[in-house]
Structure 1
Amino acid sequence: MFKTAAGKAIRPTWIDAPPGSPGWAGYWTISRQHLTVVAEAVAIRDSLVNVEMHYSTTEQCDRRCKNAKGDDCTCSCEGKNHGDGDHASWTPVGDTTLVKSSGTRIATRQLTRAEAEAARLQRSLNGSQP
């Protein structure tokens, strides 16, 4: 399933649930670069996928993200700052990196089959990659 969606380069890792965890046996971890195509493939196959992303207590956002166009973001801001160009609440570190403290955060999202199919169609019409 993973290799069909993302190609040979993907290296998913299975993490067992802690002993006694009710209702689930564990979960897969994959690199962020494969997240979109794998989440869409699972949503199309199963009608719905839940995606949980864990972020550290310090967010690092890149000026390239803040000035970007489009909807994909690879930094820990979860796309919230993607293309907004407003750097006021961030501290510059070096030439491109912006940092702000935010505490521990877990982001959970659901992706439906219809949303996944629409996203794939839009990318194909734009000629862009996930």
Structure 2
Amino acid sequence: MDEGTPERLRRIWNQKEIPVLLRRGAGHRLRMRLPFDPENRAWIRQERRSNPEWDQQRRFWEIPQAWFNALVAQCLEKYGKVYIVQPYREQEKCAPACWNATGDECQCSCMGEHHGMHSPAGKWKVVSDTFATSWADQELACRLVERKA
């Protein structure tokens, strides 16, 4: 987590009761925080070939992305829950038909924000007269996954 991380996510990352898995996207290793246990390294590794790496200064484990699903299952089995933090980009949908519309009735997902504006900011990828899409900046999302009863 860096200084631009929202406070809620920082609190989740720094709490010590529930495991946290941080996915950072393609090409990056997973980061994981666990409640302290002297056997954490062996518990994370299980029968896998490589060893998890402990970052002493920043106090998290780094592990291969390929271990993600198995680690979620391990956390649910041992702790009953796990936080998953990962990047996402919100998608906005609209259309040139909306931008060029007259009148006040709007039935697209912009809910009238771009209605009749003729050409909103150039962030849009126009697919057809009835569909255009735009992606917001990447942010971090967090969800708590709990073991099914």
User: TM-score, normalised on structure 2?
Assistant: 0.33
User: Which structure exhibits the higher relative contact order, with contacts defined as CA atoms closer than 8 Å and separated by 6 or more residues?
Assistant: 1
* Structure of higher CA gyration radius: 2
Compare the two structures and name the one with the higher helix fraction. Answer: 1
User: TM-score, normalised on structure 1?
Assistant: 0.37
